[in-house]
Amino acid sequence: DAKTTQPTSMDCAEGRAANLPCNHSTISGNEYVYWYRQIHSQGPQYIIHGLKNNETNEMASLIITEDRKSSTLILPHATLRDTAVYYCIARGFNDYKLSFGAGTTVTVRA
């Protein structure tokens, strides 16, 4: 799996959009970008995934650059409950695991 690089931490104001960057410059053509988050020590939770096109669901939006070397997860209106560690993961189509790195610790402040 391609290595991903994320900032260690970031703060966000409640009600504002949170933009979480991820670099995956060595991603290959069959690797998807996944985002998960982990609140405190709970099990990680799936947020969204994409291959080439931008994606949106009820939780977030995923913007992938045209060269696929980086992406941004957008939480449109951050709430205090969005405080968590966010993981950006590159996974090959036939892989049976997710390789979690250190992630970005996001703190939403009132």
Partner 1 sequence: EAQVTQNPRYLITVTGKKLTVTCSQNMNHEYMSWYRQDPGLGLRQIYYSMNVEVTDKGDVPEGYKVSRKEKRNFPLILESPSPNQTSLYFCASTPAGTSGRFEQYFGPGTRLTVT
Write out the residues near partner 1 by the rule CB under 8 A: 32, 34, 36, 41-46, 49, 51, 87, 91, 93, 95-103
Compute the least distance from the CB of residue 46 to partner 1, in Å.
Answer: 4
Instruction: State both tokens at 75.
Output: 């939480």
CB nearer partner 1, residue 94 or residue 110? 94
Compute the least distance from the CB of residue 15 to partner 1, in Å.
Answer: 28
Q: How far apart are CA 53 and CA 22, in angstroms?
A: 16
Q: Which residues contact 102 (CB under 8 A, 6 or more apart)?
A: 6, 8
CB nearer partner 1, residue 88 or residue 108? 88
Compute the least distance from the CB of residue 5 to partner 1, in Å.
Answer: 13
CB nearer partner 1, residue 16 or residue 52? 52
From residue 108, how far is each of 10, 27, 52, 54, 97 by CA, in Å?
A: 9, 30, 29, 24, 29
